[in-house]
Amino acid sequence: MRTLTHRTFGEPEDVLEVTERPTPEPGPGQVRLRVVLSPIHNHDLWTIRGTYGFKPELPAASGTEALGVIDALGEGVENLTVGQRVATGGTFGAWSEFIVADAAGLIPVPESLEDESAAQLVSMPFSTISLLQFLGAEKGDWIVQNAANGAVGRMLAQLGAARGINVIGLVRRTAGVDELREQGIENVVATDQDDWREQVARLTDGAHVAFGVDSVGGSSAGDVLSLLGEGGTLVAFGAMNSPVMEIRSGDVIFKQATVKGFWGSKVIQTMDAATRGALFGELIQRVTEGTLTLPVAGVFDAADAADAVRASNTAGRVGKVLFKF
């Protein structure tokens, strides 16, 4: 079978290559999936560079999320059937024609959900809705986030709106405001404008901002923290621009702020089955009804991995880049 691997750590467009590997056999409690589509996530690219929290042994497979069709059942698997469409967001090596996955972690995909949406249902959307759960944000609360035009930023705004939670998004370019408004997302402020703080204040109209989400790092983390009200919580979700958060001691002290990290894979592991099922049910409902959109920027064959990575890294990209096998 064809699979994308890398023999060294480095820039993904330079080190990824298509190799032939034996088709795997499912063990007890496992199924084999024929991969239909698999998205490129930032954490996949960081892993290939060797800069993520998980560092695989070389030569290494790559990719973590996929939509697949069950091709074979391992011993003891009873609630799934051959030919069934399922999604997985925690199977390392997903950029391959076939993968083996634990049956217990698979999400059955209803026929009403298109392949391109189902292929990206788990990692980013589920991390986003889990983040809302993690924050404990309720109807009427205010959240401010940076990287608002990223995948998680868009989804947090959409899921927040669907739940009655107010989300203010910060973007670095004025053009990003119009891009998000075209997608129906309001309450967006560009930090390249001199009066951006005043714009945020007008949007909140004196309301208490309880939560901040930093996906950028550097001084942008401090900008988010500075907008929080007393007792606010700043959550580190990512570090797109810098691995160091630059936050002011005075903001932490005088706001009596809490700063903590969110790593989706760890949070999901400790989530009880009932909550997990309810959140996935909500996601599927939101996507089906159109209140949560999962656009696609392009679909590439695995043989064109370098082009796919470059497309994924394109500034201003809207939607995920997907591999097909």
Sign for the CA dihedral angle at 67, 69, 75, 77 comes to positive
User: pLDDT class for 241, splitting at 50, 70, 90?
Assistant: confident
Alpha carbon 255 to chain centroid distance? 29
Tokens at residue 192, please?
């390249």
Structure confidence by residue, pLDDT tens digits, 196-209 = 999 999 999 999 99
Question: What pLDDT score was predicted for residue 240?
Answer: 78
Tokens at residue 252, please?
């932490």
What is the share, in percent, of the chain residues with pLDDT greater than 90? 78
Structure confidence by residue, pLDDT tens digits, 70-93 = 999 999 999 999 999 999 988 899
- The amino acid at 123: S
- Supply the DSSP symbol for 103: G
Tokens at residue 258, please?
């809490």
Distance CA 200, CA 205 (A): 8
Distance CA 66, CA 323 (A): 9
Among 7, 4, 8, smallest CA distance to 18 is for 4
Buried b (16+ CB within 10 A) or exposed e, 84-123: bbbbbbbbbbbbbbbbbbbbeebbebeeebeebbbbbbbb
Distance CA 196, CA 304 (A): 41
Distance CA 13, CA 309 (A): 6
User: pLDDT class for 112, splitting at 50, 70, 90?
Assistant: confident
Find the distance separating the first CA and the last CA of the chain, reported in whole Å.
Answer: 10
Residues 93-118, mean pLDDT to the nearest whole number: 93
Bridging pattern class, strands 233-236 and 211-214: parallel
Mean pLDDT value across the chain: 93
Q: Which residues contact 230 (CB under 8 A, 6 or more apart)?
A: 208, 255, 256
Residues 299-308, mean pLDDT to the nearest whole number: 97
Residues 16-29, mean pLDDT to the nearest whole number: 96
Alpha carbon 204 to chain centroid distance? 27
Helix (H, G, I), strand (E, B) or coil at 266: helix
Structure confidence by residue, pLDDT tens digits, 48-70 = 999 887 899 999 999 999 999 99
User: pLDDT class for 123, splitting at 50, 70, 90?
Assistant: confident
Alpha carbon 157 to chain centroid distance? 13
Among 190, 170, 90, 155, smallest CA distance to 319 is for 155
Question: What pLDDT score was predicted for residue 298?
Answer: 96
- How crowded is residue 33: how many other Cβ atoms within 10 Å of its Cβ? 29
